[in-house]
Amino acid sequence: MESKIIKSGSEVLGAVPSLDQALAEYPQGLNYYDEMWSAERAAVNPHWRRLMGDLVKLGGGELERRRGEARRLLRENGVTYHIYSDTKGQSRTWQLDPIPLVLNSTDWSAISVGLKQRARLLDLILRDIYGPRRLIKEGLIPPELIYSQQGFLRACDQVQMKDMPHLLLYAADLARGPDGRMWIIGDRAQAPSGAGYALETRMSMTRVMAEEFRRTQVHRLSIFFRHLRAMLASLMPHRSDDPRVVILTPGPHNETYFEHAYLASYLGYSLVQGDDLTVREGKVWLKSLDGLKQVDIIVRRVDDTFCDPLELREDSHLGVPGLLQAARLGNVIIANPLGSSILESPALMPFLPSIAKQWLGEEILLPSAATWWCGQKKECDYVLANMDDLVIKTIDRHSRSIFSSALNAKQKAELKQRILAQPYMFVGQQILSCSTAPSLRDKQILPRRVLLRAYLTAHQGDYDVMPGGLTRVAKDEDSLFISNQTGGLSKDTWIMADKPVHQSSLWPTIRHMDNLLVGEGLLPSRSGENLFWVGRYSERSEGLLRLIRTVLNKHADFDDYRDESDQTALRILLQTLSYFTVVLPGFTGEKAAEKLANPRPHIIDMVLNPEHRSSLIATLGSLLQGAYNVRDLWSVDTWRVVDDIDQNLRYLNSHRSSYSLMQSELDRLLVSLTAFTAQSQESMPHEHGWYLLNIGRRLERALQLITFIRSCFVHHTGEVPEHLLLEATLSNHESLITHRRRYRSIQHMFTVMDLMLLDMRHPRSLAYQVRKIMELMAELPNPRKNAPAHSLNREQRLILQADTDIKLAEVEKLANISDDQGTRRALAKLLDNTERRLEKVSELLNQKYFAHTQSARQLAPTRLELPA
């Protein structure tokens, strides 16, 4: 059927049509349910009417502009979703449809009651499967349905949490059928994802649809996250005032890593990876800069089998060895418990109504999509006879849906043989024709199928439902399968309120100052290491950018004047660039003269070739990766600067062949890097992470300055070239104006070495960097708890020696040429000794604060691999 569209107001002779006129051509005689139309499809639903009237007045052009504004906000805020088949990978911005899904309060109330009932039922099932297994004993579930699937973890048997629900977090995928009734087509119980995306989507929508949102009276989402945090705190009654909660993430390469970092920041929890945790004496500890700190609650975003390489999947590098034993002893609470993925098996769905009737004494309120488990002969025969009308799945959660109607005869025959060989491993499920809702496509409002994911958290003996959710939209008109992994879009979900809604704060009520705990949040060692290297990479990138700009300016001088001294200075600066980028021999080898005759292509290669690990583009890539790894620690404005760096880098990389364009883009990148440094300095609290970030910056600035000075001045190149290099040094290090103001018109080796090496007041000097590193290291925690207060550790002694050498240096000796080869030996010795000590300091910091012992692994696998 050919879809018709709503015309935008600007297309009707400049007049804004009435709502009825605009909707006259919107498809009505459909064989599926449309959310906007009433059940009789004769009129727009009352709860849609106001919004659609506003959208019609805006017109298609304005709606597209707002979509673009939402996309910009999402991109700047770093809202990404990793589609594994997408070449953009983790940099793919979250895709948003600006027209929300609207549900009225009556409809949502009924849905909420049904969701709570289902959550209670699944909680009972989860307790029973890993407890007494009455379901099997009473014949409510066949044993092979449980024991034959990967979701049942035998190692989790009898691991029970007393006096609390097991299913702490739950999500359900909902679709409305042609009859207008909501059906559940999938359960998410082990690590439900999407709640953070729903919240960020709402944040963006309240910006781009502010007036429409206010007039529609939409329920707020923040109260749900307040209840979530209160629920987690209540799990540890003896530490309800301050339980240590962490969010366990697989890491930056996971598809929903943004959400993990976003929720950790929003809820105030530490974001950790498996290597950040260790199990000792049956307890879970966080490896922090302050040493080991016990963890009480883990909100996991890692799949069941990957959580413990000792007892579960032995090849996992994402989990914590011994985690299951800590849970077994009751020393840590995991939300949701290991083994809960069994609830996601579609094979459970046909048995839920009878379990609800037997155990709850209730009819199930929200039915599942019709499902037939092939482990029963009658159901298996039905599936085999009606394969073209069903979607075939295995009983394991990670199964791929197979639409038999899309297979050829040979593939169908092979599928039937697989089902007959192991019928208990398969289910057939009704293909539910999801309802449609208005969606913006190329300035046109068209119907597209939608799927709603709703979220619940255990709360005060029952469950609390998020008043909204994450709505996913099919990519095109004919799509039956709706998923973000297949390129689908997302919608905000607006639940109408019966009366005006007031904002609810996430923060709990504090009645006394004594209730406040003042202190510094724990910083995992991995996060500290990433911050340290973000500091180094940001300073390395900035220094490299400044050097490239200096080289380009000197190359322009040589092109203009063709002076021999300019050529000598250019050659030395190009050699310095070779040392900076470690692209050797570069301009230092036998073919240096040949390259110097036409340096442009070689400069571009040294700067923009990603195969060179220390090129500008590779260094900036490392900076962005490091910043992404600690996404939860940056403010929103800081992340927007990171996004600017990313966008500038992409543009520069796509125009790498343009030499002239490269120069202007380098200036833009330098501005963005400077903004990142300033923003991170002003927005981060001066705690351990901030100290490590700045130690990294100061170390890198000092090492770069040493490389620059050594390359340009240890060997005397002649009076005029050296004068040009002195000026280039001052300009490159943002010191030219300072030098002129202090020394007037005198520019000499004495004055430049005094300013750039020995002046402790100058923020670009070597002495200043060393002194700052000493001060910053003094603020770091000292694992040697019993060490005398006056004693110095190894890195402090090394930096003190470097500081002392610089203070004792005499500028006349540094500038003095010591031998017939024109070498400044005193300068070389000072630079070499300082560089060696700084590099050793970096190594010692890594050993003390960042290095982890190798994780424990199984000596033998826990799973018996059967031959195919």
**What is the C-alpha to C-alpha distance for residues 153 and 866, in angstroms, rounded to an integer?**
17
**What is the C-alpha to C-alpha distance for residues 391 and 543, in angstroms, rounded to an integer?**
58
pLDDT of res. 859: 54
**What is the C-alpha to C-alpha distance for residues 292 and 285, in angstroms, rounded to an integer?**
6
User: Are 759 and 813 found together in one domain?
Assistant: yes
User: Are 622 and 677 found together in one domain?
Assistant: yes
Domain count, the chain: 2
pLDDT of res. 291: 84
Sign of CA dihedral 663, 665, 671, 673: negative
Place of tokens 């005869």: 409
Using 70 as the pLDDT threshold, list the residues of the chain that sit under it.
1-18, 20-25, 28-31, 39-42, 82-91, 237-241, 399, 478-488, 500-521, 558-562, 656-659, 745, 783-790, 852-868
Q: Which of 625, 658, 683 is the C-terminal boundary of a domain? A: 683
Residue 341: CA atoms inside 13 Å, Cβ hemisphere, count?
23
Question: And the tokens for 36?
Answer: 């906007």
26 within domain boundaries: no
Arithmetic mean of pLDDT over the chain: 86
Q: Which of 663, 683, 703 is the C-terminal boundary of a domain? A: 683
Place of tokens 């085999």: 384
User: Are 619 and 717 found together in one domain?
Assistant: no
pLDDT of res. 716: 92
813 within domain boundaries: yes
- Kind and range of the H or E run holding 274: none
Q: Which of 629, 657, 683 is the C-terminal boundary of a domain? A: 683
Transcribe 14-83 into DSSP letters. Answer: TPPPPHHHHHTTS--S-SS-BTTB-TTSSSB-HHHHHHHHHHHHHHHHHHHHHHHHHHHHHHHTT-B---
| Residue/partner pairs of 324-327 with CB below 8 Å, 24 or more apart | 324/155, 324/156, 324/159, 325/279, 325/282, 326/279, 326/282, 326/283, 326/284, 327/159
**What is the C-alpha to C-alpha distance for residues 726 and 735, in angstroms, rounded to an integer?**
11
User: Are 603 and 691 found together in one domain?
Assistant: no
161 within domain boundaries: no
The radius of gyration of the chain's CA atoms, rounded to the nearest angstrom, is 32
For 343, phi and psi rounded to 5 degrees? -70, -15
**What is the C-alpha to C-alpha distance for residues 601 and 597, in angstroms, rounded to an integer?**
11
pLDDT of res. 276: 93
User: Are 757 and 662 found together in one domain?
Assistant: no
Query: Within its chain, how far is the Cα of 586 from the centroid?
Result: 37
**What is the C-alpha to C-alpha distance for residues 406 and 398, in angstroms, rounded to an integer?**
20
**What is the C-alpha to C-alpha distance for residues 411 and 95, in angstroms, rounded to an integer?**
35
For 381, phi and psi rounded to 5 degrees? -60, -40
User: Are 741 and 676 found together in one domain?
Assistant: no
Question: And the tokens for 222?
Answer: 């923040």
Return the bridge partners of 248, or none.
272, 300
User: Are 810 and 706 found together in one domain?
Assistant: yes
Q: What is the pLDDT of residues 262-320, one digit of tens each?
A: 999 999 899 999 999 999 999 999 998 888 899 999 999 999 999 999 999 999 999 99
| Residue/partner pairs of 708-713 with CB below 8 Å, 24 or more apart | 708/547, 708/576, 708/732, 708/733, 709/753, 709/756, 709/757, 709/827, 709/831, 710/827, 710/828, 710/831, 711/572, 711/575, 711/576, 711/579, 712/572, 712/573, 712/576, 713/749, 713/753, 713/824, 713/827
User: Are 711 and 822 found together in one domain?
Assistant: yes
Residues 6+ apart with CB under 8 A from 256: 81, 82, 193, 194, 196, 197, 301
220 within domain boundaries: no
Return the bridge partners of 465, or none.
456
Q: Are 387 and 356 in contact (CB under 8 A)?
A: no
Cis preceding-peptide flag for 45 (omega within 30 of 0): no
Transcribe 674-704 into DSSP letters. Answer: HHHHHHHHHHS-SSHHHHHHHHHHHHHHHHH
Q: Are 419 and 374 in contact (CB under 8 A)?
A: yes
Beta strand 270-272 with 245-248: parallel, antiparallel or unpaired?
Answer: parallel
**What is the C-alpha to C-alpha distance for residues 211 and 154, in angstroms, rounded to an integer?**
54
Question: And the tokens for 244?
Answer: 């240590």
Q: State the greatest distance between any 2 C-alpha atoms of the chain, in Å, as a whole number.
A: 100
Query: Within its chain, how far is the Cα of 97 from the centroid?
Result: 21
Residue 122: CA atoms inside 13 Å, Cβ hemisphere, count?
33
Q: Are 364 and 174 in contact (CB under 8 A)?
A: no
- Kind and range of the H or E run holding 758: none
Q: Are 382 and 428 in contact (CB under 8 A)?
A: yes
**What is the C-alpha to C-alpha distance for residues 269 and 335, in angstroms, rounded to an integer?**
14
User: Are 612 and 528 found together in one domain?
Assistant: yes
- What is the residue range of 700's domain? 686-782+791-851
Q: Are 145 and 347 in contact (CB under 8 A)?
A: yes
| Residue/partner pairs of 787-796 with CB below 8 Å, 24 or more apart | 794/844, 795/840, 795/841, 795/844, 795/845, 795/848
> Would you mind telling me the total number of residues written for the chain in this entry?
868
User: Are 745 and 832 found together in one domain?
Assistant: yes
For 857, phi and psi rounded to 5 degrees? -140, 160
pLDDT of res. 79: 84
Provide the 3-class DSSP secondary structure of residue 158.
coil
Q: In sequence order, which ranges of 249-322 are alpha helices (DSSP H)?
A: 257-267
Place of tokens 């883990």: 298
pLDDT of res. 78: 80
**What is the C-alpha to C-alpha distance for residues 473 and 531, in angstroms, rounded to an integer?**
38
pLDDT of res. 505: 52
Cis preceding-peptide flag for 585 (omega within 30 of 0): yes
User: Are 529 and 642 found together in one domain?
Assistant: yes
Burial of 682 (0-12, 13-18, 19+ CB in 10 A): exposed
828 within domain boundaries: yes
Q: Closest Cα partner for 447 from 26, 11, 8?
A: 26
390 within domain boundaries: no
pLDDT of res. 514: 45
pLDDT of res. 653: 79
pLDDT of res. 699: 97
Beta strand 169-176 with 444-459: parallel, antiparallel or unpaired?
Answer: antiparallel
**What is the C-alpha to C-alpha distance for residues 196 and 256, in angstroms, rounded to an integer?**
9
Q: Are 17 and 56 in contact (CB under 8 A)?
A: yes
613 within domain boundaries: yes
pLDDT of res. 650: 85
Provide the 3-class DSSP secondary structure of residue 437.
strand
607 within domain boundaries: yes
User: Are 539 and 667 found together in one domain?
Assistant: yes
pLDDT of res. 786: 59
